[in-house]
Amino acid sequence: MDTIAIISDIHGNVTALQAVLADIQERKVSRILCLGDIVGKGPNSDLAVDLIREHCEEVVTGNWDEFVAGTSGLEVVKWHSAVLGQNRLDYLKSLPFSIEFWMSGKFVRLFHASPRSVNERVQPWDAYEQRLSLFQSSELCQADLPADVAGYGDIHNAYLQHLEGRTLFNVGSVGNPLDLTQASYVLLEGNYGNRSLGRLNIQFVRVPYNIELAVQQAVESEMPDLELYIRELRTAKYRGIKD
């Protein structure tokens, strides 16, 4: 049996990332995969990229990775790209779209938001057909094959559903969770690379971390949208929702 850790949406929160990496290191994990949004929102995109490059075997791109490495010229992008520097921005631009493999007889596809785009947001309460569409392939994916198991990040909201004999899950967010105020990730346990049916285990892990230290790091960095970020870390409520 192989155990794979899947992390996502770090958003420059290195305190949360270090807590998750320490938790993973206590387990028998053979590889760590990352589903994007390493950068943006939080203060330490540079350190987050360095840790992800050091620890993750495969990494896909997220909407914030594309946004910060892009050419919009917005003030928030300028701030985060200055923190990153050119080498890390080049790394973000080089990231692939999906990770695909067989495990215990199931074809697994992992991506940031949807198999079609890093900007298509699908919540667990969205229309049935929209959730079902997350099993499809697209020209951005590798194999022209629907997924038996589809996993993603983006919404910062961990869940699992079985739809028409297929399994859909969201790993939640390491650095900016919007469901519980604890870092989130998933462990996938099974026979990696094996097309014969076998035991497959999907486990959701929540890791408490020092939120007030993360808040202090954000304050000291004088980052943009500071108050919105602090409120999200402390409450796990999305900034788009009014109190």
Region of 3-11, 113-121, 131-139, 226-234 interacting with Mn ion (CB under 5 A): 3-11
* Amino acid code (one letter) for 5: A
Span 34-63, contacts to Mn ion by CB under 5 A: 37
Tell me the closest approach of the beta carbon of residue 9 to Mn ion, in angstroms: 4
For residue 94, count other CB atoms closer than 10 A to its CB.
10
Tell me the closest approach of the beta carbon of residue 176 to Mn ion, in angstroms: 7
Tell me the closest approach of the beta carbon of residue 53 to Mn ion, in angstroms: 18
Tell me the closest approach of the beta carbon of residue 33 to Mn ion, in angstroms: 16
Tell me the closest approach of the beta carbon of residue 58 to Mn ion, in angstroms: 18
Comparing CB distances to Mn ion, the nearer of 37 and 189 is 37
State which residue has the least CB distance to Mn ion: 37
* Amino acid code (one letter) for 177: P
Tell me the closest approach of the beta carbon of residue 100 to Mn ion, in angstroms: 21
> β-strands 201-207, 58-59: how paired?
unpaired
Instruction: Tell me the CA distances in angstroms from 2 to 68, 109, 204, one per residue in order.
Output: 34, 17, 16
When binding is defined by CB under 5 A, the residue of 6, 9, 24, 46 that contacts Mn ion is 9
Sole residue written with tokens 């010229």 = 73
Comparing CB distances to Mn ion, the nearer of 23 and 37 is 37
Region of 6-14, 113-121, 197-205, 234-242 interacting with Mn ion (CB under 5 A): 6-14
Region of 1-9, 69-77, 137-145, 211-219 interacting with Mn ion (CB under 5 A): 1-9
Comparing CB distances to Mn ion, the nearer of 40 and 190 is 40
Point out which residues bind Mn ion (CB under 5 A): 9, 37
